[in-house]
């Protein structure tokens, strides 16, 4: 695809087709190209939340906040810990709402990250589990940490291969309570196969492909392309996101 911007005539040209530069369609085209460049330049690696690196697009975190506030889960379960920023983010929202706790699992919690999380003022709301999220013993341990009457939201953000995400979805989708979500992050990998830091196999080996197959076999879940925005005075309707196809709502 060839994009040409003429700021004088206020025209965006896409493969010969002329669009108003100041239009929803032009905004979405430019934003999607910006997402690819920003990912390649590691833009999401420039953010932290309450002292811990979060490695997420701020747009996605704001949308996640909107969903968490609406669902008001008792437990947010996250596959993938890394530096702990996402756990701290979730814990801070639950703290502000006056309810809930966070469980995080990772195959390796590096000592300096564990220390920083355990010393954080929100650690009282966080449970760390070290081990593979797809190991049978770890799966059973996670399930035992959650009470039958608790409202649960699940976020998958660990190993992003299609096979691994499928295994996580199979293992944990049953934890998601009706009205809550199984959030399958980083489906944008599918569009990064052609960028310098990307890999050709990502065109099929990605979380979005896993989620699409999962939905074909689990009718108790439905895809919300964009969870409803509680506030919108624009004419825009699409998220600018690294998480396309992420929001699987249990009906």
For 114, the enclosing helix (H) or strand (E) is helix 111-118
- pTM (2 decimals)? 0.96
Q: What is the pLDDT of residues 22-53, one digit of tens each?
A: 999 999 999 999 999 999 999 999 999 999 99
Q: What does the domain layout of the chain look like in residue ranges?
A: 1-41, 46-250
Could you tell me if 151 and 75 are in contact, meaning their C-beta atoms sit under 8 angstroms apart?
yes
Q: What is the pLDDT of residues 97-107, one digit of tens each?
A: 999 999 999 99
Mean pLDDT (the chain) is: 97
Q: What is the tens place of the pLDDT at every residue in 171-224?
A: 999 999 999 999 999 999 999 999 999 999 999 999 999 999 999 999 999 999
In the chain the first and final C-alpha atoms are separated, in Å, by 38
* Residue 226 pLDDT grade (very low, low, confident, very high; cuts 50, 70, 90): confident
Residue 178 makes CB contacts below 8 A (sequence gap 6+) with: 250, 251
Classify residue 126 as left (phi > 0), alpha (psi -120 to 50) or beta. beta
Indicate the CATH number for domain 46-250: 3.40.50.150
């Amino acid at each position: 695809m060839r994009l040409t911007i003429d700021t004088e005539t206020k025209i965006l040209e896409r493969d010969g087709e002329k669009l108003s530069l100041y239009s929803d369609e032009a905004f979405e085209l430019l934003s999607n190209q910006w997402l690819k460049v920003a990912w390649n330049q590691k833009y999401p690696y420039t953010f932290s939340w309450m002292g811990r690196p979060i490695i997420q697009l701020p747009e996605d975190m704001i949308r996640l906040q909107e969903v968490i506030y609406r669902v008001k889960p008792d437990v947010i379960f996250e596959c993938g810990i890394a530096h702990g920023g996402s756990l701290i983010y979730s814990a801070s929202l639950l703290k502000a709402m006056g309810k809930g706790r966070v469980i995080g699992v990772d195959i390796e919690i590096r000592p300096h990250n564990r220390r920083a999380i355990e010393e954080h003022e929100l650690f009282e709301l966080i449970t760390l589990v070290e081990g593979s999220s797809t190991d049978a013993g770890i799966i059973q341990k996670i399930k035992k940490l959650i009470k039958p009457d608790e409202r649960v939201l699940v976020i998958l953000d660990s190993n992003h291969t299609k096979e691994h995400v499928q295994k996580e979805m199979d293992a944990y989708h049953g934890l998601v309570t009706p009205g809550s979500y199984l959030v399958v992050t980083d489906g944008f990998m599918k569009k990064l196969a052609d960028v310098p830091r990307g890999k050709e196999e990502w065109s099929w080996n990605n979380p979005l492909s896993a989620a699409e197959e999962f939905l074909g076999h689990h009718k108790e879940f439905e895809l919300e392309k964009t969870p409803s925005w509680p506030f919108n005075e624009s004419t825009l309707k699409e998220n600018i996101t690294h998480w396309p196809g992420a929001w699987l709502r249990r009906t």
